[in-house]
Amino acid sequence: MADSLIIFDTTLRDGEQSPGASMTKDEKLRIARQLERLRVDVIEAGFAASSPGDFEAVKAIAAAVKDSRICSLARANDRDISRAAEALKGANAARIHTFIATSELHMEKKLRMTREQVLEQARLAVRFARNHCGDVEFSPEDGYRSDPDFLCRVLEAVIAEGATTLNIPDTVGYGIPELYGQFIADLRRRVPNSDKAIWSVHCHNDLGMAVANSLAGVKIGGARQIECTINGLGERAGNCSLEEVVMAVKTRRDHFGLQVNIDTSQIVAASRLVSQTTGFVVQPNKAVVGANAFAHASGIHQDGVLKARDTYEIMRAEDVGWATNKIVLGKLSGRNAFKQRLLQLGIELESETELNEAFARFKDLADRKAEVFDEDILALVQDEQAEQVGEHFHLVSLAQRSETGERPHARVVFAGGGQEFMAESDGNGPVDACVRAIESQVQSGAELLLFGINALSSGSSESQGEVSMRLQLGGRVVNSVGSDPDIIVASAKAYLNGLNKLRAKGERVAAQG
Ligand code: KIV
Ligand code: ZN
């Protein structure tokens, strides 16, 4: 029986720390359910003490998800740890993850604590956490840039207090695979009680090596847990990407010799859900989940793949959840077929009303678009659920006119707070005209930082457009998405979605009735 590698997903905690990626409780719950379907071993559901919203999200996930262990982050103090324990009460299997920085830089400049104070606080925190939970993870933040002699003392002390997992973060993504792997191996060799805990790696991607470093931590260092996020979501350049490490360990089992529990056929659905929820679009050439990951454009490659697929493919698209027959439904498809497809995509709508409304949206889309793909279905369910959770603004209708040599003009009707608004404007282009029209009523003053557009399903011109935007207002940043066969409509939806997210974050965004 091969050794197991624990997959610890931190999309909902470290991933969410990415600017603009913050999620509502319902969005987190939906992602947590998908992570459970993916058979992630541990879900870091949030940082319970950081805000009442995070506390409620951890609590809701602990109550709803039963097949994965649920974890909350906590700083190394009694209040944080008590909040984490409280939020995790309803979990089938719980973990408290406590951390304190151990690098000279962090201790001196950030914590303003001496080594001895940090050592004592780490020890007390783990002792306190163990009184609340049998499964306690300890992380020395900025561990990879810490003095190894001091780190060994801290790690030995926390194991003696009962830490069951030791996680060694490369917090700033400074590692190089051989060096990081050797760092873990040395710690394990030097800490006398190292065999009493599971060792874990947590790598950031600042030099683009988070996946390589994590794998080296496993192969060279002997770690048996990897901390990662869907699509590599995370602060700055992100975290180690779940889909990449999992497929590396599976595809190169000859090299790693490790067993992972993940149901890889759920990977693409998880990737799409996280991307649509956070507005962080997946680049087309991203390994495993990018739209081009299994596309063969050159004639030589296409010829090879048709003759024998393994000439150019090392994984099968369907093994990671890219459907082989991606045309799923059309306008003649019935409610049952639609429901069936939702279930196959891992989507369980909570009520018959939700199902009926999603089906009505599907019919409307199928009227406008001959072939409805999985991506279209995921997008419409996303839209549907956003409305269910009471999004403030939503688009009612849009008309726009553009002609070579003429200044484009848009008329947008949208609803918000029980009122309907009609707004018109010219603009440099049709998207600009739409945004200006909406702003003429809302007057949020939001700044549009990024605008992107992608074909949602196939690359054909028939595809729905998925528009992603990044808005900034008063120092807050949100990412938003909107999809529609008409890319101007998709842009208006994305803009309104961004305004909703700014409202949810407490900005004063209201239409001037
Ligand atoms: O990157 C980091 O150091 C972290 C810790 C809190 C584990 O996310
Ligand atoms: Zn991190």
Q: Cα-atom radius of gyration of the chain, to the nearest Å?
A: 24
Stretch among 195-199, 245-249, 378-382, 491-495 having the lowest mean pLDDT: 378-382
> Distance (Å, rounded) from C-alpha 151 to C-alpha 142?
11
Atom of ligand 1 nearest to the CA of 73: 6
**Per-range mean pLDDT, top range of 141-145, 278-282, 403-407:** 141-145
Q: What is the mean pLDDT of the chain?
A: 91
Give the distance (Å) from ligand 1 centre to CA of residue 413.
45
Amino acid found at 467: V
What pLDDT, on the 0 to 100 scale, is given for residue 508? 59
Locate 28 and state its tokens: 């987190």
For residue 188, the CA-to-ligand 2 centroid distance in Å is: 21
Q: Whose CA is nearest to atom 5 of ligand 1?
A: 141
The atom of ligand 1 lying closest to the CA of 204 is: 1
> CA–CA separation, 509 vs 486, rounded Å?
26
Distance CA 362, CA 128 (A): 52
Q: Does position 490 have pLDDT exceeding 50, yes or no?
A: yes
- Would you say 57 and 45 are in contact if contact means Cβ atoms under 8 Å apart? yes
The rounded Å distance from CA 141 to ligand 1 centre is 6
Residue of 171, 201, 240 to test ligand 1 pocket, by largest number of atoms within 8 Å of CB: 171
Contact between 52 and 417 under an 8 Å Cβ cutoff? The reply is: no
The per-residue pLDDT for range 277-307, each reduced to its tens digit, is 898 989 889 999 998 888 765 566 667 777 7
- What tokens were used for 440? 């003429």
In angstroms, the first-to-last Cα distance of the chain is 67
Going by pLDDT thresholds of 50, 70 and 90, the confidence category of residue 28 is: very high
pTM: 0.85
H helical segments located in 345-373: 352-368
* Residue 254, burial from CB neighbour count under 10 angstroms (0-12, 13-18, 19+): exposed
**pLDDT at position 387 over 70:** no
29 Cα–ligand 2 center, Å? 21
Place of tokens 């600017």: 19
pLDDT of residue 379: 80
Give the Cα separation of 97 and 103 in Å (integer).
19
Mean pLDDT of 206-231: 98
**Looking only at Cα atoms, what is the longest distance across the chain?**
76
Closest Cα to residue 359, out of 344, 346, 377?
377
CA of 483 to the centre of ligand 1 (A): 34
What band does 383 get if pLDDT is binned at 50, 70 and 90? confident
- DSSP secondary structure letters along 259-291: E----GGGHHHHHHHHHHHH--PPPTT-TTTST
Tokens of 201: 């790696």
Q: pLDDT > 70: what percent of the chain?
A: 93
Q: Please check the confidence at residue 325 and state whether its pLDDT lies above 50.
A: no
Lowest mean pLDDT segment, chosen from 16-20, 215-219, 506-510: 506-510
Strand partners, 95: 71
Tell me the C-alpha distance between 13 and 10, whole Å: 5
Instruction: Yes or no: say if 205 and 240 are a contact pair by the CB < 8 Å rule.
Output: yes
- Among 133-137, 271-275, 455-459, top mean pLDDT goes to 133-137
Structure tokens that stand for 453 in this block: 């557009």
Can you list the alpha helix ranges (DSSP code H) found in 371-513?
374-388, 430-442, 487-504
Ligand having the closest approach to the CA of 140: 1
Using the 8-state DSSP alphabet, how is residue 239 labeled? B
Read off the amino acid at residue 376.
Answer: D
CA distance 66 to 63: 8
| Of residues 353 and 120, more confidently modeled | 120
Q: Give the ligand at the shortest distance from the Cα of 47.
A: 1
pLDDT of 258-277, one tens digit each? Answer: 999 999 999 998 998 999 88
pLDDT at 299: 60
DSSP for 196-226, written as a single string = GSEEEEEEB-TTS-HHHHHHHHHHTT---EE
Which of 8, 11, 12, 14 maximizes ligand 1 atoms within 8 Å of its Cβ, making it the mutation to test the pocket?
14
Q: State both tokens at 270.
A: 């998880």
Which tokens belong to 390? 């009471």
Which residues line the pocket of ligand 1, CB cutoff 6 A?
14, 99, 139, 141, 167, 169, 171, 202, 204
Q: Which atom of ligand 1 is closest in space to residue 227's alpha carbon?
A: 7
The confidence score (pLDDT) of residue 386 equals 66
Residue 327 has pLDDT above 60, yes or no: no
Cα 475 to middle of ligand 1, angstroms: 24
The per-residue pLDDT for 128 is 98
